[in-house]
């Protein structure tokens, strides 16, 4: 028998048998490579189950074209736990322009093709095929955001709940530690998966003959058939579901799908600081499984980071963090964080720099509503938009204290902040700004103003642009005091609902006047469940019903993205087209505000010629195109020879 590292959860039958097991309780199927770090769902959930006394095995990136891999560990005693991975598989595979990505950060060597499209669905189906009758529990971001009828950007259609296609017995949405352990305990006690329907944070299908919940604690959404055919019904469903997300007052949601009904129970309650310490203090190796000969890019990025909290009360309409982790901030204790830093400082492979000490947002640590009686009934979608709620505790004191202690831990030379900074909160605390600027910035600080247009920012639920300018001024002032030469790296989004060419041109002018030349830009991708996705699909604001301009065509999206990088010669033709289309010809030429010169630079001509040659080659040679015309099909063995038309 081969030598097996027993510090990892078993990933092969040999590793299972090396532990003296003849079977396991739970087989966790995941679309990601196995990284034993709490930033990866399979690790934190697997460790929580293990500590609760269950035998867990990991089936990482299995070949979904056969049920054979699902039989690797034999029949699981309790259930299959299925997740597409840390990312939605469609976002993992495709760019905003629906082009196949060149790499997968969650796979060894960044290789693509190791998971299918909509991975949750075939993973659940193969589990059913391998062992009929074994319960299948789906979870993760992909399943969570698709628990109800939703708009799917990649097929440009409204799809039913993922429960319908996957045939999962249960979907656990949210972070899921408490849920998955309770499911395991109940099944181990002889109960059935139907006996788990009363849990918080789950979704399930009722049979045609089962009674549909009703009453004051239940909110019925328009049926799938209506939201698919009528955008008014879609908006109503989106608006209602988002207003039922507070764990303190959310109602059970029901949505009919033909003769069957999806039921979604209220979100799980926020976990205590003690439970957070427990989850993050489990015996993770912080390493990739030794079976991998190639590095996993996602692990390289987070291996020296430390998470201090989860959740986000920002409620940005384009972001899924609030939907998945919740609006309530859940923080670890200082002792727990410092203990992890101390262990990291003793690691011989650690170089002394903590790459990030933060979470979904770097500066929301220990921030909560100061009035529990208000929090109990509040249904605001954001605690900071359109203004910061007067009930929100915004004290940065606990975070500043933690940051000061973190940089004095033996073995830690520097603890950087790489998570997003909530600028409207940060500028309220001079002490935080000083601590951040003096000790926790590695030359560049990433921030996300996202746009300059007030209407677009309001639709995003982001603060007004003067917030960014005020934060930038304070950051610059602190830099001068400290004698440092550090810079802000602002992130902006192109093609967000509400953003038209005029708004993007104004943003481009702001970038030029302030000397910003973003190397990377974000192109809005409509993610299932998000409010911004509802705007994209319907062309209307779900809250007010007002019409919203939407860049739906790939050409329109390309023009908006080019404006964010107007300074690149290869974008000259797209920027010129955008300016002429918007009637802003005065921005072409040699004026102080001109975005591009009057004549195309040689680099633009060469770039255009190279693209034309590439397109011509793909159209007229036997070489395969860069991406399949009908979607991502890594199972296809060969393209074969294409016959030319006479």
Q: How confident is the model over 246-305, as pLDDT tens digits?
A: 999 999 999 999 999 999 999 999 999 999 999 999 999 999 999 999 999 999 999 999
β-bridge mates for residue 94, sequence order: 100
Q: What's the pLDDT at 2?
A: 37
* Residues of the chain above pLDDT 90, percent: 88
- 636 vs 295: CA distance, rounded Å: 26
Q: What's the pLDDT at 32?
A: 97
7: confidence class by pLDDT, cuts 50, 70, 90: confident
- 46 vs 35: CA distance, rounded Å: 11
- Please compute the mean of the pLDDT values over residues 563-569 and round it to a whole number: 95
**183, containing H or E segment:** helix 177-188
pLDDT in tens, 124-152: 999 999 999 999 999 999 999 999 999 99
pLDDT at 646 > cutoff 80? no
- 137 vs 193: CA distance, rounded Å: 9
Residues of the chain with CATH 3.40.50.280: 13-202
3-class secondary-structure state, position 94: strand
Q: What's the pLDDT at 305?
A: 96
Q: What's the pLDDT at 340?
A: 97
pLDDT in tens, 222-233: 999 999 999 999
Q: What's the pLDDT at 615?
A: 65
**573, containing H or E segment:** helix 572-581
Q: What's the pLDDT at 622?
A: 44
pLDDT at 114 > cutoff 70? yes
pLDDT in tens, 613-642: 766 655 544 444 444 444 444 444 443 444
**Two structure tokens written together for 167:** 């045939």
Architecture in CATH of 13-202: 3-Layer(aba) Sandwich (3.40)
- 453 vs 504: CA distance, rounded Å: 8
Q: What's the pLDDT at 604?
A: 85
- 636 vs 643: CA distance, rounded Å: 18
Helices (H), 421-488: 423-426, 430-439, 454-460, 465-482
pLDDT in tens, 358-382: 999 999 999 999 999 999 999 999 9
4: confidence class by pLDDT, cuts 50, 70, 90: very low
Residues of the chain with CATH 3.80.30.20: 288-533
322: confidence class by pLDDT, cuts 50, 70, 90: confident
For β-strands 353-354 and 414-415, DSSP reports them as: parallel
516: confidence class by pLDDT, cuts 50, 70, 90: very high
For β-strands 356-358 and 305-307, DSSP reports them as: parallel
* Residues of the chain above pLDDT 70, percent: 94
Q: In degrees to the nearest 10, what's the CA dihedral of 60, 66, 71, 77?
A: 80
**Two structure tokens written together for 103:** 């790499």
pLDDT at 435 > cutoff 70? yes
Q: What's the pLDDT at 628?
A: 43
Burial of 556: CB neighbours in 10 Å, binned 0-12, 13-18, 19+: middle
Helices (H), 211-367: 224-229, 231-242, 273-280, 297-302, 321-325, 334-346
Distances (CA, A) of 429 to 399, 426, 433, 554: 11, 6, 6, 42
Architecture in CATH of 288-533: Alpha-Beta Horseshoe (3.80)
For the chain, first and last CA: distance in Å?
A: 61
- 419 vs 407: CA distance, rounded Å: 17
Residues whose CB falls within 8 Å of the CB of residue 313, separated by 6 or more in sequence, listed in order: 322, 327, 328, 329, 364, 367, 382, 383, 384, 392
Other Cβ atoms less than 10 A from the Cβ of 207: the count is 8
**170, containing H or E segment:** strand 170-172
The CB-side HSE value for 37 (13 A sphere, CA atoms) comes to 24
- How would DSSP label each residue in 108-128? GGG-S-SS-TTTHHHHHHHHH
* 119-128, 416-425, 624-633: range with highest mean pLDDT: 119-128
Q: Which residue is listed with tokens 């293990």? A: 50
Q: What's the pLDDT at 316?
A: 95
């Amino acid at each position: 028998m081969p030598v097996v590292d027993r510090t990892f959860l078993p990933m092969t039958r040999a590793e299972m048998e090396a532990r003296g097991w003849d079977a396991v309780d739970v087989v966790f199927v995941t679309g990601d490579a196995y990284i034993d770090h709490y930033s990866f769902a399979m690790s934190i959930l697997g460790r929580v189950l293990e500590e609760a006394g269950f035998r867990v095995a990991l089936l990482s990136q299995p070949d979904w074209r056969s049920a054979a891999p699902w039989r690797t560990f034999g029949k699981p005693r309790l259930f299959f736990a299925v997740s597409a991975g840390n990312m939605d598989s469609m976002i993992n595979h495709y760019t905003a322009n629906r082009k196949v990505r060149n790499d997968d950060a969650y796979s060894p060597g960044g290789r693509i093709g190791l998971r299918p499209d909509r991975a949750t669905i075939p993973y659940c189906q193969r589990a059913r095929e391998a062992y009929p009758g074994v319960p299948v529990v789906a979870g993760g971001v992909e399943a969570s955001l698709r628990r109800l009828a939703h708009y799917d950007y990649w097929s440009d259609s409204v799809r039913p709940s993922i429960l319908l296609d996957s045939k999962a017995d249960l979907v656990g949405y949210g972070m899921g530690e408490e849920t998955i352990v309770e499911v395991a305990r109940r099944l181990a006690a002889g109960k059935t998966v139907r006996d788990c329907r009363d849990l918080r944070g789950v979704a399930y299908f009722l049979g045609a003959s089962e009674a549909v919940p009703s009453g004051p604690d239940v909110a019925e959404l328009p049926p799938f058939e209506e939201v698919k055919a009528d955008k008014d019904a879609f908006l109503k469903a989106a608006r209602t579901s988002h207003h039922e997300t507070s764990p303190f007052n959310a109602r059970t949601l029901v949505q009919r799908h033909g003769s069957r009904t999806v039921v979604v129970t209220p979100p799980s309650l926020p976990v205590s600081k003690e439970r957070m310490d427990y989850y993050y203090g489990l015996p993770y190796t912080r390493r990739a499984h030794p079976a991998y000969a190639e590095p996993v890019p996602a692990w390289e990025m987070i291996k020296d980071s430390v998470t201090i909290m989860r959740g986000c009360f920002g409620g940005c309409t384009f972001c899924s963090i609030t939907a998945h982790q919740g609006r309530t901030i859940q923080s670890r204790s200082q002792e727990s964080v410092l203990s992890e830093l101390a262990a990291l400082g003793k690691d011989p492979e650690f170089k002394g720099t903590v790459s990030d000490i933060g979470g979904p947002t770097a500066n929301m640590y220990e921030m909560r509503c100061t009035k529990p009686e208000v929090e109990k009934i509040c249904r605001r979608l954001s605690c900071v938009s359109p203004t910061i709620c007067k009930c929100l505790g915004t004290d940065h004191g606990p975070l500043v204290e933690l940051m000061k202690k973190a940089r004095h831990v033996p073995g830690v030379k520097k603890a950087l902040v790489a998570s997003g900074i909530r600028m409207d909160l940060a500028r309220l605390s001079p002490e935080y700004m000083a601590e951040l600027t003096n000790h926790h910035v590695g030359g560049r600080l990433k921030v996300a103003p996202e746009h300059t247009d007030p209407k677009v920012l309001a639709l995003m639920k982001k603060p007004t642009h003067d917030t960014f300018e005020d934060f930038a001024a304070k950051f610059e002032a602190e830099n001068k005091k400290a004698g440092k030469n550090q810079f802000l790296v602002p992130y902006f989004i192109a093609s967000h609902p509400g953003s038209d060419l005029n708004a993007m041109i104004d943003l481009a002018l702001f970038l030029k006047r302030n000397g910003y030349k973003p190397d990377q830009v974000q192109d809005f991708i409509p993610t299932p469940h998000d409010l911004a996705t509802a705007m994209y699909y319907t062309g209307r604001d779900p809250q007010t019903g007002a019409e919203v301009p939407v860049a739906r065509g790939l050409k329109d999206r390309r023009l908006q993205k080019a404006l964010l990088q107007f300074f690149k010669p290869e974008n000259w033709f797209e920027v010129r087209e955008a300016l002429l289309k918007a009637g802003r010809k005065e921005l072409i030429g040699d004026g102080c505000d001109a975005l591009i010169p009057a004549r195309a630079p040689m680099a633009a001509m060469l770039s255009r010629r190279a693209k034309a040659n590439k397109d011509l080659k793909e159209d007229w040679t036997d070489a395969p195109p860069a991406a399949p015309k009908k979607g991502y099909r890594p199972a296809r063995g060969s393209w074969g020879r294409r016959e030319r038309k006479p």
